[in-house]
Structure 1
Amino acid sequence: MPTFALGHNQYGKAETRIVRVTRGPGGDGLTDLNVSVALRGDLAASHLTGDNSAVLPTDTQKNTVYAFAREHGIDDIESFATRLARHFVGSQPSIHGARVTVEQYPWQPVDGAHTFRRDGGEVRTATVHHDAARTQVVSGITGLVLLKTTDSEFHGFVKDAYTTLPETRDRILATSVNATWRHDGAVRDDYATARAALLDAFAGTYSLALQQTLYAMGAAVLAACPGVVEVKLSLPNRHHFLVDLAPFGLDNPNEVYYAADRPYGLIEGTVRRDDDVAEEVVWSF
């Protein structure tokens, strides 16, 4: 008779959408979030026998997000996520760990009072893992689309029987930045500083490879944010290829391109401080 064992498990409320309006005499503020909660602990009975006596309903988790937004407000998403994670672990004996992930969608005021416009596709992120041993805070950004029209080359690469890509001394370099940075333990709102460092490094690095740019961007965040110990980046190479206009009797001095959305190169890497002891994510699924 075969025997089985329950492995790692978690549960929670995913993608609670919340918009918080902060009223003020000088105009309103707007915070737009997507909050996901995952809990782990003494939950085996629910899986094995259907005993829910240790289960905090996911609907309750959703309501907690809304209540905390009203009772405590939302200053920065790292602090908001940390407050929620500590609450779920501290208030429920059966819950030993909580992961709270927050995405923030940027809005900018139009009239300085009550009208806003949604900014582009970039999203601010924060993930907090909390249990009895520690609290780990990871901030980030996704979908930050960047492009430079020159100051990028790619040559000297390996060539084999299947290589058709020509070397180039001048190309468009474009990517959609997905970056996360791990804090040293304290909860900080260094998003604006980290974002500016990413932008400055991308713009200021004469790039011989997107890998080189990735390292420069990660190092720039570490230099600008003393409380950050590690930066992870995922940079898809948004290829732009010169259009061959010779069939039409036209030259193309690096002016007309077509943008290929797939397939694409995907460059990923981690930059950390020399004295940082590599720390894995507390738990994930």
Structure 2
Amino acid sequence: MTIVLGSNRYGKAENRIVRIYRDTPRHEIHDVSVSTALHGDFAAAHLVGDQLHVLPTDTQKQTAYSFAKEKGLLSIESYGIDLATHFVDHIEPVAGARIEIEEFAWERVVVDGAEHNHTWVRRGQEVRTAAISVEGTGPAQQVWVVGGLKDLVILKSTGSEFAGFMQDPYTLLQPTNDRVMATSVTAGWRFMTTDVDWEATYAGIKQILITQFATVHSLALQQTLYRMGEAVLEAYPFIAEIRLSAPNKHHFLYDLSPFNVANNDEVYHAADRPYGLIQATITHDDAPDAGPAWDSYTGLV
């Protein structure tokens, strides 16, 4: 039996980059965490410690920071494409590059009824994400882009049921036709093109996810996830598929009877674990090859 080196890649993880645009009196801020990973002809580094073909991870970090100025950081998807393409096109041993990005939102401070030009507070909503993979050079070069979000915490106090489920001798859960439904959505959507208005598309997809969660009378979280994904694909034909992961953040009616207090669906215990975890992929039956951008995409099936 022969031992051989399998697939491998290396890079610099979680580079925290803040880009402030000062072109006008109203400044703009983009706050991201960028991770790079390269694969290619790096066998000698593993087998004999030869670093000749190894671009240091520190160099990858420096490139990521410099590109925030050189190429701009208005959209994480276009920035990621520029960064990945650079490594593949200009670093000879590199056959492919993968860039993962998280963006943290900031909200302008309001002073005397007006938005302040250069002061923000961190917004406690979702984290925007992207994964970009570039393989090969020249006319055969392929680019895959995945947009997404995580930590989109959303709750509705009614309009959700869970009944008619399978039962066996270990089933204790009681059916309900009216419950609190809450989750923290992680989503990723795979683009079939790079000719995209990244900012408008992200805002539109987020609004669709929220709207469907709010308006679909849910018989199960699975049904809600499907409707959310279906609506995204209907609205954006250039998206091949969307993957959704949603932990069921259970809210259990709290027993106030020991205190002779009526609890008419008003006081709940929010349980953080254990929790049901619902995941689904919604796609077109003729969707093209996913490519490596989906590989190990955090939190998704």
Give the TM-score of the pair, scaled to structure 1.
Answer: 0.96
Q: Distance in 1 between matches of 2:124 and 2:167?
A: 39
Distance of aligned partners of 1:282 and 1:137 in 2 relative to their CA distance in 1, 3 Å threshold:
closer
Q: Residues of 2 paired with 1:136 and 1:50: CA distance?
A: 32
Residue pair 2:131, 2:293 contacting (<8 A) in 1 also? no
Residues 1:128 and 2:136 are matched in the alignment: no
Match of 2:247 in 1: 236
Give, in angstroms, the shift of residue 108 of structure 1. Answer: 1.2
Question: 1: CA distance between counterparts of 2:159 and 2:132?
Answer: 38
Alignment match, 1:46: 45
The CA distance in 2 between the partners of 1:24 and 1:283, in whole Å, is 36
Shift of 1:121: 4.3
What residue ranges of structure 2 are gaps of 5+ in the alignment? 110-114, 297-301
Q: In structure 1, what is the equivalent of residue 177 of structure 2? A: 169
Counterpart selection for 1:113 from 113, 117, 132: 117
Contact 1:15 1:35 in 2 (8 A): yes
- Give the letter for the 2:103 counterpart: Q
Once the two structures are superposed, what CA deviation does each residue of 1:176-231 show, in whole Å capped at 9, x if it has no partner?
Answer: 00000000032520110110110111011100000000001111111222221100
User: Which amino acid in 1 is paired with 2:181?
Assistant: L
Structure 1: 4+ residue segments shifted above 3 A: 280-285
The alpha-carbon distance between structure 1 residues 67 and 236, as it changes in their structure 2 partners (threshold 3 A), is: same
The question of whether the paired residues in 2 share the 8 Å contact of 1:28 and 1:113 is answered with: yes
Distance 2:268 2:68 in 1: 47
Instruction: Return the letter of the residue paired with 2:122.
Output: R
Q: Which residue does 1:56 correspond to in 2? A: 55
For residues 60 and 279 of structure 1, the distance between their equivalents in structure 2, rounded to whole angstroms, comes to: 29
**Bigger mean CA offset, 216-225 vs 4-13:** 216-225
Check whether the contact 1:137–1:187 (CA below 8 A) recurs between aligned residues.
no
User: What does 1:1-285 correspond to in 2, within 5 Å?
Assistant: 3-110=2-109, 111-132=115-136, 133-188=141-196, 189=198, 190-277=201-288, 279-281=290-292, 284=295
SS at match of 1:70: helix
Higher mean displacement: 135-144 or 117-126: 117-126
**Per-residue displacement from partner, 1:89-139 (whole Å, max 9, x unpaired)?**
000110000000000000011133010011114100000011025111000
Identify if the C-alpha distance between structure 1 residues 73 and 282 changes in structure 2 by more than 3 Å, giving closer, same or farther: closer
Matches of 2:67 and 2:2, distance apart in 1: 43
Distance 2:102 2:39 in 1: 21
SS at match of 1:115: strand
Query: Partner of 1:68: helix, strand, or coil?
Result: helix
Instruction: Quote the RMSD (CA, aligned, Å).
Output: 1.4
Tell me, in whole angstroms, the C-alpha distance in 1 between the residues paired with 2:148 and 2:92: 31
Contact 2:191 2:239 in 1 (8 A): yes
CA contact (8 A) 1:198 1:218 kept: yes
Q: Kindly provide the amino acid, as one letter, of the partner of residue 126 in structure 1.
A: A
- The alignment of Structure 1 onto Structure 2 pairs a total of residues equal to 284
For 2:166 and 2:268, locate their aligned partners in 1 and report how far apart those are by CA, in whole Å. 25
TM-score, structure 2 as length reference = 0.91
